[in-house]
Amino acid sequence: MSNRKMPEGPVEKWFLRMKKTDFNGLSHKLGVDPVVVRLMCNRDVEPEDMDGYLHPSLSGMEDPHLLPDVDEAAGLLLQLAREGQAIRIIGDYDIDGVNASYILQEGLRKLGIEADTAIPNRMTDGYGLNRHLVDLALEDGKKVLLTCDNGIAAAEEIAYAKEKGMSVIVTDHHNVPYKEEGGEKEEILPQADYVVDPKRQGSRYPFPDICGAVVAMKFLQVLYEKAGRDKDEPYCFMENAAFATVGDVMPLKKENRVIVTYGLRQMNQTKNIGLKALIRANQIGDVKAFHLGFVLGPCINASGRLETAMESMSLLLEKDPVKAARRAEKLVELNAERKELTRKGVEQAVEQVETSGHKDDSVYFLYLPDCLDSIAGIVAGRIKEKYNRPTFVAAGTGEKVKGSARSIEAYSMYDEMTACGEYFVQFGGHPMAAGFTVEVEKIPALREALNKHASLTEDDLAVKKYMDMRMPLSYITEGLVGQLELLEPFGTDNEKPLFAENKAVFLSAARIGKEKNMARFSLLTETGGRMNGVYFGDADRFFAQFREKYGIGEEEALLEGRGSRCLSFCYYPQVNEYRGIRSLQVVISGFLF
């Protein structure tokens, strides 16, 4: 393990994973390189599960009947539909909520059950079910509320709907609110007719870390079965479930891995006219998990952040290719606008961190009156990444303001907010992300309480970078790169492998990119071969560190192609194809000086 102080950033610690198993024996049995076996071992895949990990199949999907209340909820909805009672789906304005809403509405339609959808307006309604939405449903003659990706924390609103004579079914995946007395946690469940949530106490569902869209798809499976249809028919929504799983940052293991693998295959041949238009508008060829999280997903989210998420819902429902293309282009434009607003918000947040006198806090709480609360979560995420601190960002003006929070591994956001719950008007979320409303006058006291209650150590606040193994560049082949693709899709809890090397000589360097803020290197392997390396990180930072370590003369030599230094770095190998010529190269993700 080695440590270094990164300029304008937290301490970074590098670790080499040292897990052991019979790499060669399993390599022979599975027909893959021992490196692939080691990578699976590093991700805690048991030997008996490795073949399934390499070749995900639908047999890895969990039984939907194990979800709490799901059979009773499906039975009730079917009964209410047969009685002709009008149904309204209440969704949410993010990737998960939009896809969950689409799955339920289209899934019910395919069963011959009519339902419509209302998604809260982020600016005027806030998150989830509220009295305004209940009243609108009643005005429209709706007798049944079916939530997705929300509802578990809406006890008061659901009680109000029940008082008005409505039937309410909750499908959600968020943590159940609780109160703690004498060290015991007591759930606070909303008094809906039924609550389908894998995180409920006593749930028999073996893998609770699924998103709201997956809960919706599984609810449909049970509903279809009760209606005498094939329970696997809702797998036609696997692409939406995959989209939501990646977009909601769910762990890509167990059945989530199956969902995303099959969902990506489905999406690359999608019959959904709106999705096809969005893929085309972003000029994507082969859709990967990366595109779901960082290209397509932000477009879906942009409508909910700046206008209304019904724009994204309408795209998924659109049947006319010309209209779908227009809708997709609008989402791309909204996302471009969102990017610029985010840039300004991050600038304001960084300035506040650096000048407020709270830079040394373990937990950051920033208040940005000029920022939209709809992008507070993105800003919080960027600040968390820059400083590696749990970060709360409240935005907007008024006596009460909304905000979002993003966390680090050692800090359970939801539990810590619960401990300081008296300072919030409202909150909800996950260990790693949450939303909240707070009175502006209480922000200083809340900041103090959060920091006082936090038990974060210096080690907790260090950025931990885990190398899978040291692998010399000379070991890389096209065949190995192809086998590494068996480990996809990469994402949360199935990170892209990271290899370490310290014996390659850096012969030359050149700045690349429009802003010349990235770098390309020519590397000499320990066996005398040549390979290119690209670094998409901060080139200014790299050269400053190199110059500080070795002197300006060595920097000039490197830039002139006379380099002779061996540097420690981490990388991922790939095949680069340019004008029909294929060559191996490495994408460098960090240096250790």
Contact 118, 136 (CB under 8 A): yes
Euclidean distance between the first and the last CA atom of the chain, given in angstroms as a whole number: 13
**pLDDT tens digit sequence for 283-298:** 999 999 999 999 999 9
Share of the chain above pLDDT 90, in %: 88
Q: Is the dihedral of CA 30, 34, 38, 39 positive or negative?
A: negative
**pLDDT tens digit sequence for 256-285:** 999 999 999 999 999 999 999 999 999 999
Q: Has residue 319 got a pLDDT over 90?
A: yes
Question: What letter represents residue 131's amino acid?
Answer: R
Q: Residue 16: pLDDT band by 50, 70, 90 thresholds?
A: very high
Output the pLDDT for position 6: 43
> Reduced to 3 states, what is the DSSP secondary structure of residue 53?
helix
Backbone dihedral region for residue 523 (phi beyond 0: left; psi -120 to 50: alpha; all else: beta): beta
Q: Has residue 85 got a pLDDT over 60?
A: yes
Same fold, 2-18+465-592 and 356-461: no
**pLDDT tens digit sequence for 528-576:** 999 999 999 999 999 999 999 999 999 999 999 999 999 999 999 999 9
Parallel, antiparallel, or unpaired: how do β-strands 499-501 and 568-578 relate? Answer: antiparallel
The Cα 533–Cα 11 span in angstroms is: 25
The Cα 406–Cα 290 span in angstroms is: 20
Which contacts qualify for 202-208: CB closer than 8 Å, 24 or more apart?
202/68, 203/66, 203/67, 203/68, 204/66, 204/68, 205/62, 205/66, 205/67, 205/68, 206/62, 206/66, 207/62, 207/254, 207/255, 207/256, 208/173
Q: Name the strand (E) or helix (H) holding 444.
A: helix 443-453
**pLDDT tens digit sequence for 204-233:** 999 999 999 999 999 999 999 999 999 999
Q: What does CATH list as the number for 61-235?
A: 3.90.1640.30
Question: What letter represents residue 123's amino acid?
Answer: M
CA atoms within 13 A on the CB side of 122: 29
Contact 448, 420 (CB under 8 A): no
**264 contacts: CB under 8 Å, gap ≥ 6:** 239, 242, 287, 288, 289, 292, 489
Superfamily (CATH) of domain 2-18+465-592: Nucleic acid-binding proteins (2.40.50.140)
| Stretch 364-380: mean pLDDT | 95
**pLDDT tens digit sequence for 397-421:** 999 999 999 999 999 999 999 999 9
Residue 589 is encoded by which pair of tokens? Answer: 């993700």
**pLDDT tens digit sequence for 161-171:** 999 999 999 99
**228 contacts: CB under 8 Å, gap ≥ 6:** none
The Cα 72–Cα 169 span in angstroms is: 10
Q: Has residue 129 got a pLDDT over 70?
A: yes
What is the full DSSP assignment across 120-143? --TTTT-SS--HHHHHHHHHTT--
Fold of 356-461: Diaminopimelate Epimerase; Chain A, domain 1 (3.10.310)
Q: Residue 440: pLDDT band by 50, 70, 90 thresholds?
A: very high
The Cα 46–Cα 30 span in angstroms is: 13
**326 contacts: CB under 8 Å, gap ≥ 6:** none
Q: Residue 2: pLDDT band by 50, 70, 90 thresholds?
A: very low
**407 contacts: CB under 8 Å, gap ≥ 6:** 384, 390, 391, 413, 431, 432, 433, 434
| Stretch 184-192: mean pLDDT | 92
Residue 175 exposed, middle or buried by CB count within 10 Å (0-12, 13-18, 19+):
buried
Output the pLDDT for position 428: 83
The Cα 117–Cα 97 span in angstroms is: 11
Q: Has residue 124 got a pLDDT over 80?
A: no
Strand order in the sheet with 144-148: 115-118, 87-90, 144-148, 167-171, 194-196
Output the pLDDT for position 8: 55
What's the mean per-residue pLDDT of the chain? Answer: 94
DSSP single-letter state for residue 220:
H
| Stretch 7-18: mean pLDDT | 78
Domain positions in the chain: 2-18+465-592, 61-235, 356-461
Buried b / exposed e along 518-540 (16+ C-beta atoms within 10 A):
bbbbbbbbeeeeebebbbeeebe
Residue 88 is encoded by which pair of tokens? Answer: 């309204």
pTM, rounded to two decimals:
0.88
Q: What are phi and psi of 411, to 5 degrees?
A: -130, 110
The Cα 77–Cα 145 span in angstroms is: 10
DSSP single-letter state for residue 488:
P
Q: Has residue 5 got a pLDDT over 50?
A: no
Output the pLDDT for position 13: 87
Output the pLDDT for position 178: 87
> Reduced to 3 states, what is the DSSP secondary structure of residue 83?
coil
Output the pLDDT for position 251: 93
Output the pLDDT for position 4: 43
